[in-house]
Amino acid sequence: MEVIDLAWWKLGLAALLVLALAGVSLWARLGITRSLLIASARTGIQLALIGLVLEALFASARLYWIALLATVMLLVAGREVMARQQRRLRGIWAFGIGTGAMFVSSFAVTVLALTVIIGPSPWYAPQYAIPLLGMMLGNTMTGVALSLDRLNESVWHQRAVIENRLMLGQTWRQAVEDIRKDAMRGGMMPSINAMAAAGIVSLPGMMTGQILAGSPPAVAVKYQILVMLIITVGTGFGALMAVSWGSRRLFDERERLRLDRLVKVGK
């Protein structure tokens, strides 16, 4: 089946709907008109630019260019994780913990899926590697950001309880055990909910895209199952590592709670 191309003026029609929504939100005084327009403009510009980059990347298929793009994606994701936390660690730790957790989890799971499960030749073929890593990073970014944000906020609001537990002789791990578990669950819950609703409430994005591109539904289903499973694994391990590293940073070598290492970001 031939793929139907979309002219740019047709995309402009969809943009008019966004402008209509912006007008309604302005009339209703929702306070999101500016954010909506900026986000829509960024979507169009960023995706158009990445389309040009991917065309050049697919034509060359060099490992070093793929690695460079993957590094840029990771750094941008790390910046987004840091920006989404209302109360975050001071200094490089706010960026380093989230980025490190995403690097270990997302890259490890993506490489495993490419080399063992999918098996393209070469294993870093950009047609498979870049979309797969992009989905992994996007979802892991959300999970890590939610986990760290919940961890830091909970520790701040329950600081008196934590300090009392420390004075009673508990270790730092015991003092924040419930908070750590809640933060990890919060980061993993979006992926679990997405798996629970897939195919019944919604058709996931990759499956829809493959069907629109002419792939047999059975093939699209298998790829979507693979993607959702490895996304959940990557997000889960990323949240676990981020919460473990982040919670340890909130205590010093003498296991004293160090709230001075947190800074509140104005929203």
Asked whether residue 51 falls in the same domain as residue 127, the answer is no
Q: Residue 165 has what pLDDT?
A: 94
Global pTM value: 0.84
Asked whether residue 126 falls in the same domain as residue 256, the answer is yes
Other CB atoms within a 10 A radius of the CB of residue 38 amount to: 10
- Side-chain-side CA neighbours of 37 within 13 Å: the count stands at 11
- Side-chain-side CA neighbours of 47 within 13 Å: the count stands at 8
Q: Residue 91 has what pLDDT?
A: 87
Q: Residue 202 has what pLDDT?
A: 64
Token pair in block for residue 149: 């944000």
Q: Residue 216 has what pLDDT?
A: 84
Q: Residue 258 has what pLDDT?
A: 92
Which residue, among 183, 172, 184, has the nearest Cα to 250 in the 3D structure?
172
The span from the CA of 55 to the CA of 5, in Å, is 16
Which residue, among 241, 252, 265, has the nearest Cα to 90 in the 3D structure?
265
Asked whether residue 80 falls in the same domain as residue 98, the answer is yes
Q: Which residues contact 239 (CB under 8 A, 6 or more apart)?
A: 101, 143, 144, 146, 147, 183, 184, 187, 188
Domain boundary among 25, 42, 60: 60
Asked whether residue 32 falls in the same domain as residue 145, the answer is no
Asked whether residue 21 falls in the same domain as residue 66, the answer is no
Asked whether residue 72 falls in the same domain as residue 85, the answer is yes
Question: At how many degrees (to 10) do helices 126-157 and 63-83 cross?
Answer: 20
Domain boundary among 29, 60, 91: 60
Token pair in block for residue 139: 């979802």
Asked whether residue 103 falls in the same domain as residue 200, the answer is yes
Q: Which residues of the chain have pLDDT under 50?
A: none
Quote the number of domains for the chain: 2
Determine which helix (DSSP H) or strand (DSSP E) holds 65, and give its type and residue range.
helix 63-83
DSSP code for 28: T
Residue 202: domain span:
62-264
**pLDDT per residue as tens digits for the range 155-213:** 999 999 999 999 999 999 999 999 999 999 999 998 888 888 777 766 667 777 777 77
Determine which helix (DSSP H) or strand (DSSP E) holds 265, and give its type and residue range.
none
Q: Residue 195 has what pLDDT?
A: 85
204 within 8 A of 228, measured Cβ to Cβ:
yes
Asked whether residue 130 falls in the same domain as residue 148, the answer is yes
Asked whether residue 259 falls in the same domain as residue 182, the answer is yes
Neighbour-count burial of 168, counting CB atoms closer than 10 A to its CB (0-12 exposed, 13-18 middle, 19+ buried):
exposed
- Phi first, then psi: give them for residue 251, nearest 5 degrees: -125, 145
Asked whether residue 55 falls in the same domain as residue 66, the answer is no
Asked whether residue 69 falls in the same domain as residue 172, the answer is yes
Asked whether residue 41 falls in the same domain as residue 170, the answer is no
Determine which helix (DSSP H) or strand (DSSP E) holds 87, and give its type and residue range.
strand 87-89
Q: Residue 198 has what pLDDT?
A: 77
